């Protein structure tokens, strides 16, 4: 018997089975052999919400939640945020290696070439109601891209995959800015090829009548770093949607629309909006202690605190907090910052939060920064979707090229009716 194995005794019939353990994991399919009768289906594992199920072997992102570690392709997030541009990190996440100078210049050129969207997208936008949520518009526009690029369906061709991934990374900021401008009633602004990825996004969002938009360097760099911090986070809800939908071999635009739809939910990409609403509710620093007492009494949760994976600090939150002060020197201080700082100070010393390992997460400060930059709360999930597209695409590519993967199709435990006899409608009830 191998040391790296699990011995299971089936107490229904006394039989034992030896199951291999690899990477601290057993293969669920190895349970299938465990049967009482030869025609039984075999044993399954039950795991709603995949709380203890690995759905893939991946080489993209590493998280150690107990130690507060996040790495893309092995590189610590702190080093990437300090030294790289977002496009450099996008290249790293998708290609698996950091680009050389020449490779980065070439990638930047590809992105610039694909940054525009078909003019008919503007007509699509005009079809929305004046108060349509920007994230709903973004999801629809991403999905619509599959109609403009029907060749994207050929997902098994590596060159074709590369082309579609570049297109999507390039077009996301353009679509996001279109959604914002429409919701504000502003005319659409076209991309400026002289600007960086983040700088151009600021241009498409905020340019008014000036002949040339010059982004503030602090805001441009902050946005770039925020994009780096949000680029991937292994198998979260949106990524799981990307992989699950992509496993049907649908085109990447349709799969990305599904991933963005998952991100739209308040339990996922909507948390930084919830943080802002909470800070408004609290109203002032003097109200923080009473608010904390209500959280401890179980009335509600402290939004932006706690994480399913990070049971130590969230490394992204540490980086964002440092940047917040630089941003406020440009934009003027967001009055909500004092409330947030007070909340954090009290919570980090309080036994309730300490014993439950509740620390500020990435969303605690990102909303305050986005608001200071002039973004409405409805744009927050959109700001998340732009960089996360890189992670979704890298994970999609990994799925498509993984020979162990097949169409995602979970099992169920059926507890509904036994066989029923059809009853004509006039005989029912």
Q: Which residues are catalytic?
A: 268, 307, 363
- Does 307 interact with ligand ACO (rule: CB under 6 A)? yes
Residue nearest to ligand ACO (CB): 306
342 contacts ligand ACO (rule: CB under 6 A): no
Least Cβ distance, residue 198 to ligand ACO (angstroms): 20
In angstroms, give the least distance from the CB of 56 to ligand ACO. 20
Compute the distance between CA of residue 122 and CA of residue 273 in angstroms, rounded to an integer.
27
Residue whose CB is less far from ligand ACO, 215 or 269: 269
Binding status of residue 336 toward ligand ACO by CB under 6 A: no
Tokens, residue 200: 């151009």
Q: What is the DSSP letter of 309?
A: S
* 295 is an interface residue for ligand ACO by CB under 6 A: yes
Asked if 361 touches ligand ACO (CB under 6 A), the answer is yes
What is the token pair recorded at 74?
């092995």
Min. distance of Cβ 330 from ligand ACO in angstroms?
25
Strand partners for 22: 25
What is the CA angle 243-245-251, rounded to 5? Answer: 100
> How does 253-277 read in b/e, with b if 16+ C-beta sit within 10 Å?
bbbbbbbbbbbbeeeebbbbbbbbe
For ligand ACO, the closer CB: 253 or 305? 305
| Residue 294 interacts with ligand ACO (CB under 6 A): yes or no | no
Smallest distance, Å, CB 70 to ligand ACO? Answer: 12
Binding residue (CB under 6 A) for ligand ACO from 63, 125, 278, 358: 358
Neighbours of 423 (CB within 10 A): 9
What is the spatial distance between Cα 92 and Cα 72, in angstroms, rounded to a whole number?
A: 8
97-105, 129-137, 278-286, 354-362 -> range binding ligand ACO (CB under 6 A)? 354-362
Give the separation between CA 188 and CA 173, rounded to whole angstroms. 13
Draw the binding track, 222-261, toward ligand ACO (x: CB under 6 A; -: no contact). Answer: ----------------------------------------
| 304 in contact with ligand ACO (CB under 6 A) | yes
- Determine the interface stretch with ligand ACO among 166-174, 304-312, 330-338, 398-406 (rule: CB under 6 A): 304-312
- The number of residues that bind ligand ACO (CB under 6 A) is 16
Nearest to 135 by CA among 412, 388, 406, 411: 388
User: According to CB under 6 A, which one of 177, 271, 292, 372 is a site residue for ligand ACO?
Assistant: 271
Cβ neighbours of 116 (radius 10 Å): 14
SS3 at position 312: coil
Q: Residue 145's closest CA among 251, 264, 244, 241?
A: 251
Any idea which residue has 């620390």 for tokens? 359
Find, among 121, 408, 111, the residue nearest to 242 by Cα: 408
Please list the residues that pair with 64 across neighbouring strands.
Answer: 69
Q: How many residues does the chain have?
A: 429
Contact window for ligand ACO (CB under 6 A) among 122-130, 135-143, 206-214, 306-314: 306-314
Question: Interface with ligand ACO includes 177 (CB under 6 A)?
Answer: no
The only residue of 303, 324, 340, 383 in contact with ligand ACO, by rule CB under 6 A: 303
Of the residues 50, 356, 410, 411, which one makes contact with ligand ACO according to CB under 6 A: 356
Binding residues (CB under 6 A) for ligand ACO: these are 268, 271, 295, 301-308, 356, 358, 361-363
């Amino acid at each position: 018997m191998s040391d790296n194995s699990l011995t299971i005794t089936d107490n229904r019939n006394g039989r034992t089975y030896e199951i291999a353990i690899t990477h601290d994991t057993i293969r669920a399919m190895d349970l299938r052999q465990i049967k009482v009768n030869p025609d039984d289906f075999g044993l399954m594992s039950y795991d709603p919400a995949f709380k203890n199920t690995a759905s893939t072997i991946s080489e993209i992102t590493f998280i150690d939640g107990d130690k507060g570690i996040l790495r893309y392709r092995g590189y610590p997030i702190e080093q990437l945020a300090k030294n790289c541009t977002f496009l450099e990190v996008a290249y790293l996440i998708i290609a698996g290696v950091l680009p050389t100078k020449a490779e980065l210049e070439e990638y930047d050129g590809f992105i610039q070439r694909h940054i525009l969207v078909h003019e008919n997208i503007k007509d699509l936008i005009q079809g929305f109601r004046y108060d349509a949520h920007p994230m709903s518009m973004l999801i629809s526009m991403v999905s619509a891209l599959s109609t403009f690029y029907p060749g994207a369906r050929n997902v098994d061709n590596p060159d074709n995959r590369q082309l579609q991934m570049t297109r999507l990374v390039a077009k996301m900021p353009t679509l996001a800015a279109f959604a914002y401008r429409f919701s504000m009633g502003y005319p659409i602004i076209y991309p400026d090829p002289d600007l960086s990825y983040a700088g151009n996004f600021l241009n498409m969002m905020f340019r008014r009548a000036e002949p040339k938009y010059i982004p503030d360097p602090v805001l441009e760099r902050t946005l770039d770093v925020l994009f780096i911090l949000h680029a991937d986070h292994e198998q979260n809800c949106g990524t799981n949607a990307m992989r699950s939908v992509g496993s049907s071999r649908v085109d990447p635009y349709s799969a990305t629309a599904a991933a963005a739809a998952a991100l739209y939910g308040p339990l996922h990409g909507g948390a930084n909006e919830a943080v802002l609403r909470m800070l408004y509710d609290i109203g002032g620093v003097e109200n923080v202690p009473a608010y904390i007492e209500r959280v401890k009494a179980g009335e509600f949760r402290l939004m932006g605190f706690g994480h399913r994976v990070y049971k130590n600090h969230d490394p992204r939150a540490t980086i964002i907090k440092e940047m917040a002060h630089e941003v406020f020197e440009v934009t003027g201080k967001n009055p909500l910052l004092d409330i947030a700082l007070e909340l954090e100070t009290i919570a980090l010393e309080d036994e309730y939060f300490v014993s439950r390992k509740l620390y500020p997460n990435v969303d605690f400060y990102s909303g305050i920064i986005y608001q200071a930059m002039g973004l409405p709360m409805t744009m927050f999930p959109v700001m998340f979707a732009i960089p996360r597209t890189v992670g979704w695409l890298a994970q999609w590519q990994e799925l498509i090229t993984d020979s162990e993967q097949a169409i995602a199709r979970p099992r169920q435990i059926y507890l509904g009716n036994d066989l029923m006899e059809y009853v004509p409608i006039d005989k029912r009830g």
